[in-house]
């Protein structure tokens, strides 16, 4: 399998080079030369498999012979020692809980796989990889703990000052060791801009081997397809239901892109709802075919506050820039903060189940889609974070205290370690130069 840039101006590369580079030299995102397909007999065999079996089968098709199968199997097993519950709230509605990993967020699935794969490839060349990451919340903590202690790597996290929850900030600033946190005086789009500029800076690339752990890195994106594949097959084997509609809380659109990959690989998925908040650039594109990003708006669902999502370039590539074809598979729905609060209250009242703000956006969008389309298909809402990561919102909306899992409570006792920088590119370069002194 080879990978080429969405900008089509860079030489095609192997999965190793795509992983270690993160962003292509021409500023594009790496995409596979073809989407591997699973045959009907292969899917039937996987129906009885566990999560690791399905993850291995998918990873093997993308990695090929660049890692021995036994090493890949060990890597997968070490990544996912936790469960991926599919919780049934009603006859036709499910929540896939993606927060059982170390940082209680769905980003653990991609970050742990990428960290181990990066470490394996870096050790082959005996070189130091600097992982540069922009985060609006959960990516930072997942990457911090995913890469913590991984040989031949160091991590630099950029997050917007005052625009992530307190618990998220504590997680991403207390890992220590080979992990460094930069508190940027700007928004997430500023953080993302700085990272992208660094990757195409020829002077910086002469001094450092840079890669990314955002979903702009293809090896962060591929493992996110695992839980779509698993849920679609488990829904069929455990409940006799097929072709679900996945409602995906969407910010940088890596999560949704991974779901599209799973569907194109042949897994039984019917449709997608791209659930956005007030940052609705892609939602508007799906309705009228015009992509007009706007400045980021701050909302309750902070990790989705992205005005110009990077992975939209991959989505356009996968659909050959055909907005009508994309809209056939994806319905974009924007959810207000008021509706988010209302959904948290309603779901708790109906099911005694607590949604974090991002999952609430996904749930409300699924309800809106069903009402508008009349769809009777089973629905799966991706629950992207444990509600305890958004204590202030949940306690204000529900008027109750939320139990904090022990591994979250532990980080509250640690001292924040971060460096405050401006939103100018020179501020980032100065910090990176200081790292090597």
What residues are annotated to the active site? 107
The helix (H) or strand (E) run that includes residue 110 is helix 107-125
CA distance 413 to 379: 39
Phi, psi of 14 (to 5 degrees): -80, 170
Q: Which residues contact 55 (CB under 8 A, 6 or more apart)?
A: 76, 79, 80, 223, 226, 230
User: Is 268 exposed, middle or buried, given 0-12, 13-18 or 19+ CB atoms closer than 10 A?
Assistant: middle
Label residue 177 left, alpha or beta by phi (over 0 means left) and psi (-120 to 50 means alpha): left
Distances (CA, A) of 432 to 26, 157, 178, 212, 436: 22, 11, 13, 14, 7
Q: What single string gives the DSSP state of each residue in 164-199?
A: S-HHHHHHHHS--TTEEEEEESS-HHHHHHHHHHHH
- Residue 267 phi, psi (nearest 5): -70, 145
Q: How many CA atoms, within 13 angstroms, populate the side-chain half-sphere of residue 135? A: 31
Q: Are 112 and 101 in contact (CB under 8 A)?
A: yes
Q: How far, in whole angstroms, is CA 297 from its chain's centroid?
A: 20
What phi-psi label fits residue 321: left (phi over 0), alpha (psi between -120 and 50 degrees) or beta? left
């Amino acid at each position: 399998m080879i990978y080429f840039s969405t900008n089509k101006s860079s030489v095609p590369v192997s999965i190793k080079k795509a992983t270690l580079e993160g962003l292509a030299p021409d500023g594009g995102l790496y995409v596979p030369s073809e989407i591997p397909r699973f045959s009907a007999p292969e899917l039937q065999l996987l129906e009885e498999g566990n999560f690791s079996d399905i993850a291995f089968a998918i990873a093997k098709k993308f990695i090929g012979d660049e890692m021995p199968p036994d090493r890949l199997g060990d890597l997968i097993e070490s990544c996912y020692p936790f469960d991926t519950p599919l919780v049934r709230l009603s006859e036709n509605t499910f929540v896939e809980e993606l927060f059982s990993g170390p940082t209680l967020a769905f980003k653990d699935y991609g970050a742990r796989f990428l960290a181990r794969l990066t470490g394996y490839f870096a050790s082959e060349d005996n070189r130091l990889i600097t992982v540069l990451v922009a985060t609006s919340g959960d990516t930072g903590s997942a990457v911090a703990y995913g890469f913590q202690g991984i040989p031949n790597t160091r991590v630099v996290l950029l997050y917007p000052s005052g625009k992530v929850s307190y618990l998220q900030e504590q997680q991403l600033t207390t890992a220590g060791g080979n992990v460094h946190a930069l508190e940027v005086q700007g928004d997430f789009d500023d953080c993302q801009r700085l990272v992208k500029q660094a990757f195409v800076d020829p002077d910086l690339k002469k001094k450092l081997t840079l890669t990314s752990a955002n979903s702009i890195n293809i090896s962060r994106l591929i493992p996110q397809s695992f839980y779509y594949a698993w849920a679609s097959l488990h829904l069929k084997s455990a409940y006799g239901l097929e072709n679900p509609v996945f409602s995906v809380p969407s910010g940088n659109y890596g999560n949704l892109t991974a779901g599209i990959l799973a569907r194109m690989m042949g897994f039984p998925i019917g449709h997608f709802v791209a659930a956005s908040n007030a940052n609705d650039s892609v939602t508007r594109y799906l309705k009228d075919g015009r992509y007009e990003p706007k400045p980021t708006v701050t909302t309750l669902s902070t990790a989705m506050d992205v005005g110009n999502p990077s992975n939209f370039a991959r989505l356009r590539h996968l659909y050959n820039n055909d907005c009508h074809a994309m809209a056939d598979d994806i319905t974009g729905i924007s959810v207000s903060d008021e509706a988010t609060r209302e959904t948290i209250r309603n779901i708790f009242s109906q099911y005694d189940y607590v949604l974090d703000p991002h999952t609430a956006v996904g749930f409300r969008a699924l309800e809106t889609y069903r009402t508008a389309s009349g769809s009777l298909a089973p629905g799966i809402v991706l629950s992207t974070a444990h509600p305890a990561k958004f204590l202030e919102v949940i306690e204000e909306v529900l008027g109750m205290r939320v139990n904090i899992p022990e591994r979250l409570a532990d980080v509250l006792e640690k001292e924040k370690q971060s460096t405050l920088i401006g939103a100018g590119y020179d501020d980032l370069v100065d910090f990176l130069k200081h790292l090597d002194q």
